[in-house]
C-alpha cells in the first residue's frame, strides 16, 4: 500500500501539535509515501504561519522543507490530477486543493489518502470514496496491527 499524505499530516511531523506523535509513527513505520507536488507549497505556507506564531523557528521551517523534498522526491504532478480533483471537488463540495490529494489516491489501486481532516474524511465516505481515504489515527492503528488498508 502507498499512503498519499496531505499537508495536515505532514506538518505534524515537524510541529508539536495534536497528533504529532501519531504522524511521527507513520514515518517511523517506513511505509511508502507520496503526495501531489502541491504539498511543498502548502507545507511552506503552514510553516510560515507557524514561524510568525512562534511555534517553530525559521531554521526549523527551512529544515522541514528540505526534509519534505527528500521524503516526497517522487511527488505526483498536480497538473496531472486537476481534472479528477475538480470533479471530486464538485461532488464533495470541498476545496480543489484537498481534492488533489484524494485524486492522487484515486489514481492507483494501491494508494489511500491519509489525512488529519476528519470533516474531509466524512464527506468522502458519505460520497462513496471511503475506500480511498483514512484518518491519520486509523492509518497508524491499522499499520501497527499489521493491517495495511
Residue 144's pLDDT band (boundaries 50, 70, 90)?
Answer: low
Distances in Å between the Cα of 144 and the Cα atoms of 4, 26, 35, 86, 139 are 18, 9, 22, 34, 8
What pLDDT was estimated at residue 149? 53
Strand ranges of the sheet holding 2-5, from the earlier edge strand across to the other edge: 32-34, 2-5, 111-115, 133-135
Task: Tell me whether residue 149 is in a domain.
Answer: no
Model confidence, pTM: 0.91
As a whole number of angstroms, the distance between CA 44 and CA 147 comes to: 32
Average pLDDT across the chain, whole number: 92
Query: How many domains does the structure of the chain reveal?
Result: 1
Task: Tell me whether residue 116 is in a domain.
Answer: yes
Task: Tell me whether residue 46 is in a domain.
Answer: yes
Query: 97: number of CA atoms within 13 Å, CB side?
Result: 10
Q: Which of 24-28, 132-136, 143-147 has the lowest mean pLDDT?
A: 143-147
Region 91-109: what's the mean pLDDT? 97
| CATH, residue 80 | 3.40.50.1010
Residue 63, domain extent? 2-144
Region 14-24: what's the mean pLDDT? 85
Q: For residue range 44-95, list pLDDT tens digits in order.
A: 999 999 999 999 999 999 999 999 988 877 899 999 999 999 999 999 999 9
Distances in Å between the Cα of 143 and the Cα atoms of 31, 34, 70, 129 are 9, 17, 23, 20
Amino acid at each position: 500500500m502507498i499512503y498519499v499524505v496531505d499537508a495536515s499530516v505532514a506538518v505534524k511531523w515537524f510541529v508539536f501539535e495534536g497528533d504529532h506523535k501519531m504522524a511521527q509513527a507513520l514515518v517511523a513505520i517506513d511505509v511508502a509515501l507520496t503526495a501531489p507536488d502541491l504539498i511543498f507549497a502548502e507545507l511552506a505556507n503552514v510553516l510560515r504561519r507557524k514561524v510568525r506564531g512562534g511555534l517553530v523557528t525559521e531554521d526549523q521551517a527551512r529544515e522541514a522543507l528540505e526534509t519534505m523534498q527528500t521524503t516526497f522526491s517522487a511527488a505526483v504532478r498536480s497538473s496531472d490530477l486537476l481534472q479528477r480533483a475538480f470533479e471530486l471537488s464538485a461532488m464533495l463540495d470541498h476545496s480543489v486543493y484537498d481534492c488533489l490529494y484524494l485524486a492522487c489516491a484515486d489514481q492507483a489501486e494501491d494508494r489511500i489518502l491519509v489525512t488529519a481532516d476528519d470533516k474531509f474524511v466524512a464527506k468522502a465516505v458519505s460520497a462513496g470514496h471511503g475506500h480511498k481515504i483514512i484518518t491519520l489515527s486509523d492509518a497508524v492503528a491499522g499499520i501497527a496491527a499489521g493491517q495495511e488498508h
